[in-house]
Amino acid sequence: MKRSIYLDNAATSFPKPPEVIDAMVYFMKEVGANPGRAGHYKGVEAGHIVKNARKGLATLFGVSEPERIVFAINVTEAINTVLYGFLKEGDHVITTSMEHNSVLRPLRYLEGKSFISLSIAACDGKGFLDIDNLASLIRKNTALMVLNHASNVCGTIQDVRAVKQITGDIPLLLDAAQTAGCYPIDVKADGIDFLAFTGHKGLLGPQGTGGLYIREGLNVRPLKRGGTGSISEKEHQPDFLPDALESGTQNNVGIAGLEAGVGFVLKQGVDKIREHEKKLTAALLSELRHVTGVTVYGPLKADSQTSTISLTFDSILPPGSRYDYGGCGAVNLDVMEEDIYPSEAGNILNTEYDILVRVGLHCAPIAHRTLKTFPEGTVRVSMGYFNTLEEMEITARAIKRIAERRHTIHL
Ligand SMILES: Cc1ncc(COP(=O)(O)O)c(C=O)c1O
């Protein structure tokens, strides 16, 4: 297989540790049974694997009762579970202008049905939430604060504890899609009431895995009801976790892989993973600082962001002219095609340099409006634990060469 530089870890991490693949193959070849459904030894072993996965996640997130973590197929399902299962008609919800569509779309849907009212807390041009303004958004009926822990567009990490200080008793749902496994999370110390995570990014597990932690005392109605392998004599859904929210056969092969991914993360240590990713981020940011014709978005500080960097190639057209240039005859509109749009840059990186990045809006249009990169979006370079400093140099050189291709226009 040819060696490419994979820089799309914010979408999904690659490669996976060999342990993850081995665990999935082992489950398929040697275990195969349905956990919690059968008393035979294979069913029992499958049950152990799922239990260990829950235990590993609990250790990682500082959860004292692993059964308060329920599995889901991804963070989108986990977020939807809270939004549909916790909110009541008439509730008010606060979220931010840096959210992913996994948060915004269900919220906008519920708002559109007049089920909830919604306030969007403003973030600044680097993606940081304006915490001072947050208190003014709280109403008597505010039932939930939904916060993106780190932006999947430009990596900006929000100060969860500072948010919780302002929102107090209002339950906090944290979308940890970009931080679980690569940034320290402690549900108690951070004041997280609902923690939604996905298994296939920083947790290094396979796609089709994720989950939700629910603080004790908070009740969530299930999105689906059905067989759980427990209290089978009853025709009603169990009301205890995790069974209440885990109906039907789960993605147990995936959970076996996730168990190994979380095991890998715990063995390495989140701090070591974070340090390595910070080094990569700092190195690429410092290289990009010297590239003319490129704008980088977000905090521009490895300490304040994940290992995700967004950039655009500057327009060669006069400022503000890209869309609304009325034309006075001085600009040859053909030249517009010489601007390097994110999609084209992504293509060049892929085909000419074998560097794999993601371009466009990254399912977060509101974040791009905040960063002023809507509607073209950005070129997103997102590193993972297995990337190297050498790859950062190669990537910076490739970006520089692309920037040098821009044509100069003469007015
Ligand atoms: C911040 C954020 N939220 C939600 C998601 C959705 O993740 P999944 O597709 O695993 O549900 C992503 C994935 O890109 C994300 O970055």
The tokens describing 178, both together, are 């970009």
CATH number of this structure's domain 18-268, picked from the four choices 3.40.640.10, 3.20.20.10, 3.40.50.150, 3.40.50.1370: 3.40.640.10
Q: Which of 8, 198, 310, 366 to mutate to test the pocket of ligand 1 (most atoms within 8 A of CB)?
A: 198
- Report the side by side order of strands in the sheet with 308-313: 294-297, 308-313, 378-382, 358-360
For a mutational test of ligand 1's pocket, the pick from 9, 99, 152, 174, i.e. the residue with the most ligand atoms closer than 8 A to its C-beta, is: 152
Residue with tokens 């870890």: 9
Residue with CA closest to ligand 1 atom 12: 177
- Could you read off the pLDDT of 254-295 as tens digits, one per residue? 999 999 999 999 999 999 999 999 999 999 999 999 899 999
In this prediction, residue 315 carries a pLDDT of 77
Q: For ligand 1, pick from 178, 258, 308 the residue to mutate: most ligand atoms within 8 Å of CB.
A: 178
Pair of tokens at residue 262: 């979380």
> Residue whose CA is closest, atom 10 of ligand 1?
74
Alpha-carbon distance of 381 to 5, in angstroms, equals: 11
Dump pLDDT digits (tens) for 357-404.
Answer: 999 999 999 999 999 999 989 999 999 999 999 999 999 999 999 998
Q: What is the pLDDT of residues 128-147, one digit of tens each?
A: 999 999 999 999 999 999 99
Domain boundaries, the chain: 18-268, 270-404
CB 260 within 8 A of CB 23: yes
Distance 156 CA to ligand 1 centre (A): 15
Band the pLDDT of 406: cuts 50, 70, 90.
low
Structure tokens at 261: 């991914």
- d(CA 45, ligand 1 centre) in Å: 31
- Look at residue 3 in the predicted model and tell me its pLDDT: 77
| CATH 2.60.120.10 matches 270-404 | no
Give the 3-state secondary structure of residue 64. Answer: coil
Query: Which of 363, 366, 368 has most ligand 1 atoms within 8 Å of its beta carbon, as the pocket-test mutant?
Result: 363
Indicate whether 350 pLDDT > 80.
Answer: yes
State in Å: Cα 87 to ligand 1 middle.
Answer: 21
Give the residue from 242, 209, 215 showing the smallest Cα distance to 228.
242
Compute, in angstroms, the gap from residue 102 CA to the centroid of ligand 1: 7
- Residues contacting ligand 1 via CB (< 6 Å): 11, 74-76, 100, 102, 148, 152, 175, 177-178, 198, 210, 363
Per DSSP, 229 falls in state: S
Question: 103 C-alpha to center of ligand 1: Å?
Answer: 9
